[in-house]
Amino acid sequence: MREEIILDVKDLHVKVEQREILKGLNLRLERGKIYALMGPNGAGKSTLAYAIMGHPRFMASKGSIVFKGEDITELSPSERARRGIFLAFQYPIEIPGITLFNFLRMISNIRDNKNISPIEFSKLLKAKLKLLNLDEDFIRRYLNEGFSGGEKKKSEILQMAIINPELVILDEIDSGLDIDAIKVVSDMIKTIFNENMTILMITHYQRLLDYIKPDSILVIVDGRIVASGGYELIGVIEKEGYNSLEKKKEYERV
């Protein structure tokens, strides 16, 4: 079976307040695979996530982002979302006055360019809640208002289940979660993952990778992907640090 490149990032440069964060980054992701992106603080992990999603503060000053064969470098976040890209934020915002049910119905209608009735959508949503082992009371609450860290992450995963994106970027979805919550969230992600979906997980911690085994681990240092490899990279990172990987020729550059 031929490998399909779903995302191809070439020579990407991104400046934030005149400081260059991404410095000629190259990245290729295949459809149906899970990747983990690791690196030291300030290396550019979240900047890359926002740049792929099209955040206006993180637009490319040079290079290109190609998604499913289309150059999306100049597209807005909403246009990228409609094409199948989803970003789960590290710190999801609270939106009082809008229930999770109404929010999910709204994004579903926008994504599919439909106007699904509340009754029809309720049937779809109940099936997803059952799949993810979530209580129906969860969707009656205002979006992220008063949610615990774990509940906010569950809300993000429920959004993923509803819109079924082709490229999912998880920006430190394990941040602030205890061991039990990480396992629950990991199980939910594995439940909705499918062969048409690609996941890029940004993380600092091995614990998440113990539950969700990535196909490849990518290492970013100083605004560039410096190495990629299998699970053995975790041991190298823990023993020698991130910077050592720039000098190790046995690890494939992306």
Question: Is the per-residue pLDDT at 27 higher than 80?
Answer: yes
The token duo for 137 is 């009371």
Question: Is the per-residue pLDDT at 249 higher than 50?
Answer: no
**Contact present, 65 and 142 (Cβ < 8 Å):** no
Check residue 234 and give its pLDDT: 85
Sheet bearing 34-38, strands edge to edge? 85-88, 167-171, 198-202, 34-38, 216-221, 224-229
Check residue 178 and give its pLDDT: 86
Question: Is the per-residue pLDDT at 236 higher than 90?
Answer: no
Check residue 188 and give its pLDDT: 94
Question: Is the per-residue pLDDT at 231 higher than 80?
Answer: yes
Q: How many Å apart are CA 19 and CA 226, to the nearest integer? A: 20
In order of their start, the domains of the chain are: 5-92+166-247 (3.40.50.300)
Check residue 247 and give its pLDDT: 59
Check residue 246 and give its pLDDT: 66
DSSP the chain: ----EEEEEEEEEEEETTEEEEEEEEEEEETT-EEEEE--TTSSHHHHHHHHHT-GGG-EEEEEEEETTEE-TT--HHHHHHHTEEEE-SSPPPEEEEEHHHHHHHHHHHHHT----HHHHHHHHHHHHHHTT--GGGGGSEETTT--HHHHHHHHHHHHHHH--SEEEEESTTTT--HHHHHHHHHHHHHH--TT-EEEEE-S-HHHHHHS--SEEEEEETTEEEEEESTHHHHHHHHH-SGGGGG-TTSBP-
Average pLDDT over residues 2-17: 92
Which residues does residue 171 pair with via DSSP β-bridges, in sequence order? 202
The closest of 145, 112, 105 to 128, measured between CA atoms, is 105
> What percent of the chain is modeled with pLDDT above 90?
66
DSSP 201-253: EE-S-HHHHHHS--SEEEEEETTEEEEEESTHHHHHHHHH-SGGGGG-TTSBP
Check residue 132 and give its pLDDT: 93
Check residue 248 and give its pLDDT: 54
DSSP 68: T
pTM attached to this predicted model: 0.91
Check residue 212 and give its pLDDT: 93
Dump pLDDT digits (tens) for 143-175.
989 998 889 999 999 999 999 999 999 998 888
Average pLDDT over residues 179-204: 93
Tell me which of 3 and 27 has the higher pLDDT. Answer: 27
